Amino acid sequence: MKEGNFAEELTPEQKVSIFLEALPYVQKFREGIFVIKYGGAAMEDPLLVEKTLRDIVLLEAVGINPLIIHGGGEFINRAMKKKGLSPRFVNGIRVTDKELISLIEEVLSKEVGPRIAQKINEYGAKAVFIPGQEIFWAERWKAVSEEGIPMDYGYVGTIVGADLQPLLKLLHGQFIAVVSPLARAANGDIYNVNADVAASKMAKFIKAKKLIYLTNTNGILADEKDPLSRISVINRQQISLLKEKGIIHGGMIPKVDSALEALEAGVEKVHFLDGRMPHALLLEIFTDKGIGTEIVL
């Protein structure tokens, strides 16, 4: 069945039942803030971009306040390749020198973020892009290896605070805020921050009802080779076990760690969704069954 003809295939009763199923969720979440970590295929495939951003527009239209923290890893990688640079990651974190932070700022602030806001405006909502360094405050990240050896990631920051007033003003004016994963230090330096962690910090600071991660996997899998092994609900203990087994590894580690931190800080719900699935946001938020993985403590 072609998606464009889906509504035509439904009976009037089926169409009404879809709206009625969504109604209690619309009522429950009205005026709540949803922080959405937008990245992966959902922001790279043109068809998925349209579907995902239209879903976000619909959330705003029914009274929810979406706040987007966007990624941009593949856009950064392509820009690096053009300059003959090779990306380097340690524990899922991009090692960032002074040359690279300038490139990242250019890609995120002049290309990726403004384009997302522009698309949302084209789809009928009001969106504003704000560079993350105008919102987030950071300190240089001082990481230590398991052996206790200091690790230098370069211009990578850990977020220590945020100026929420510009965002709250936008949300109260029915605007959708689009924020990049950058932060500013006290000395004026700009730091690259992990977008998953930035989304978690934002959800914590702004007291979001939901934190939603759009990923390139079908939620969290018990077996990463089996896309049907999605775990519907997972807690801290189960996450630790999957880490020990190496099932949760690499870039998924900061995702799940930041999800747990958000829950500890009072965020009501955290979800991991497959951003490659059309309308994943609406299916998770407005249906009884849902389609992703919910993180609980």
Give the whole-angstrom CA distance, residue 93 versus residue 200. Answer: 16
Q: Does 92 or 269 have the greater pLDDT score?
A: 269
DSSP per-residue codes, 253-277: HHHHHHHHHHHHTT-SEEEEEETTS
The confidence band for 144, taking pLDDT boundaries of 50, 70 and 90, is confident
140 is in an annotated binding site: no
Q: Where are the domains of the chain?
A: 31-295
How confident is the model at residue 149, as a pLDDT?
78
39 is in an annotated binding site: no
Q: Is residue 42 over pLDDT 90?
A: no
Q: What is the average pLDDT across 34-63?
A: 92
The confidence band for 1, taking pLDDT boundaries of 50, 70 and 90, is very low
Backbone angles phi, psi at 95, to 5 degrees: -70, 130
- pLDDT tens digits, 146-177: 777 788 899 999 999 999 999 999 999 999 99
94 is in an annotated binding site: yes
Instruction: For domain 31-295, say whether CATH 3.40.1160.10 is its number.
Output: yes
Cα distances (Å, whole numbers) of residue 61 to 65, 70, 173: 9, 21, 13
- pLDDT tens digits, 176-203: 999 999 999 999 999 999 999 999 999 9
Q: Which two tokens stand for residue 119?
A: 């698309």
- pLDDT tens digits, 77-96: 999 999 999 998 887 678 99
65 is in an annotated binding site: no
Spatial CA neighbour of 281 closest among 97, 28, 130, 59: 59
